[in-house]
A and B are shown apart, each in its own frame.
Chain A
Amino acid sequence: GAVVSQHPSWVICKSGTSVKIECRSLDFQATTMFWYRQFPKQSLMLMATSNEGSKATYEQGVEKDKFLINHASLTLSTLTVTSAHPEDSSFYICSASGGANQETQYFGPGTRLLVL
């Protein structure tokens, strides 16, 4: 149980384009989803927290107009990197919590984004 998927697993795009990443909880209802960014050989950096049906809460220094987050249902959250630039290249990981294990975050497999 507690499986979280992400799609796509990797994406290469041109500078200036937008990229959407999906995060799904497959076998539980995720009342809260989190989006992280991880740089090489570093720990995870929380970008934002989203609760189903409400606006995401962004961490300090994260541009909400740059990283659009939608949590439209209890099983799906999306992160859209708008007008991507090379410095947005990173490993993006989502997590979800809810159901019987509200206190535990379960992580997706991650999405590697490369902006050329």
Chain B
Amino acid sequence: AQSVAQPEDQVNVAEGNPLTVKCTYSVSGNPYLFWYVQYPNRGLQFLLKYITGDNLVKGSYGFEAEFNKSQTSFHLKKPSALVSDSALYFCAVRDISTDKLIFGTGTRLQVFP
């Protein structure tokens, strides 16, 4: 069965510091991986995806993620965090046979001024 794990419920980082939000996956075959962000009382906004190609994927708002096949990870990163980045972040993998997204439990990012 395909699954996604986000081991951290919350990540705290000071503004201006680099941030990492972790995600590991378990799939059969090649993974389609996604990161979404959710602000309070809003839907999910698409940040970036990995389908194939370069392992380093660049997305919206300065975020990037690195696909690491050997470690089955797809960590989200940003070189310099902003207070406005504070939100709930979801990692997801697409089930190729059903087109469904399998979500992680989410990680709350808190950026302190």
Contacts and interface: CB of A to CB of B under 8 A. Distances in A.
Interface stretch (B17-25, B64-72, B77-85, B102-110): B102-110
Interface string B23-56: 0000000001010100001111110010100000
Contacts of A6: 43
**Range class of the B interface residue count:** 20 to 34
Q: Is the interface of A mostly helix, strand, loop or mixed?
A: strand
Interface in A14-45: 32, 34, 42-44
Contact of A93 (B32, B43, B49): B43
Given A32-B99, A43-B105, A44-B103, A2 B51 contact: no
Interface in A44-79: 44, 46, 49
Interface residues of A, number: 23
A6 B41 CA distance: 13
